[in-house]
Amino acid sequence: MTLEEFFKYYKKVALAFSGGVDSSYLLYILKKLNIESTAYFVKSEFQPDFELKESITLATKLGADLKIIDNPILNEEKIITNDSSRCYYCKQNIFSHIIKTAKQDGYNIIIDGTNATDDEGDRPGMKALKEMKILSPLKICSLTKQDIRTLSKEAGLPTWDKPSYSCLATRISTGQKIKKDTLVKIEKSESYLFKLGFKDFRIRVKDNSAVIQVKEKDFIKVMENRDRILKTISHMFDEISFDLRPRR
């Protein structure tokens, strides 16, 4: 099945929109096929500010309707406890907000950007999507992440080579309670590395120690910028280390 064939059956949909490669391509397709739709971005402390700004910019460029839903996620104890089911509870929470708002706007079908490469065994949140009857057109149409990057490039979308970017909560060690000040430290630190030109990286936190993870090609760049990185972010953490295992 192609996306064009899929949307012959679904002519009015609400899109869970994150501004990433997958949901951005879906937003483009919705506009291209003139599907009645609204994109919903759920904003919480788990998303860095740049994600929202980039989402607004793209939606404006495509002429798409975008709604921002504020989500006080740090009030959800079962999420901030940060056990092995956090992603599942978080997806439940996010899509509950989207479903509620979308239904008020007259939408009964909710779609998301899960693709054919996404592994359910790796992503507990996908279980929540099934339970909530969220449709994943990219997965249904057997489109892989690489397919979507290629199609996005052909469509002229700026997101075609955007690195995958999981929420800030994924940086915090499982079992460590998620707190706002920890999320702020991570966002500030990663924002600085972005400014230095790093693209695909993570800053992982356990207790109050940070570990920088980058692609192997960026190892030398980390050492070249070592003093600047330490000067900018060392006051936020007790320890800062560099993971010698390259980020995949």
The catalytic residues are 167
The amino acid at residue 122 is D
C-alpha atoms less than 13 angstroms from C-alpha of 29 in its C-beta half-sphere: 26
Assigned token pair, 146 = 């690489």
Give the separation between CA 198 and CA 233, rounded to whole angstroms: 15
Nearest to 35 by CA among 7, 16, 67, 65: 7
CA distances from 1 to 6, 138, 222 (A): 7, 10, 45
Query: Rounded distance, CA 223 to CA 241, Å?
Result: 12
User: In angstroms, rounded to a whole number, what is the distance separating the alpha carbons of residues 84 and 127?
Assistant: 14
Task: Let me know: does 151 contact 54? Beta carbons within 8 Å.
Answer: no
Contact assessment for residue 212 and residue 242, using Cβ atoms and an 8 Å cutoff: yes
Q: Which residue has the tokens 């430290």?
A: 185
What lies within 8 Å, CB to CB, of 100 at 6+ separation is none
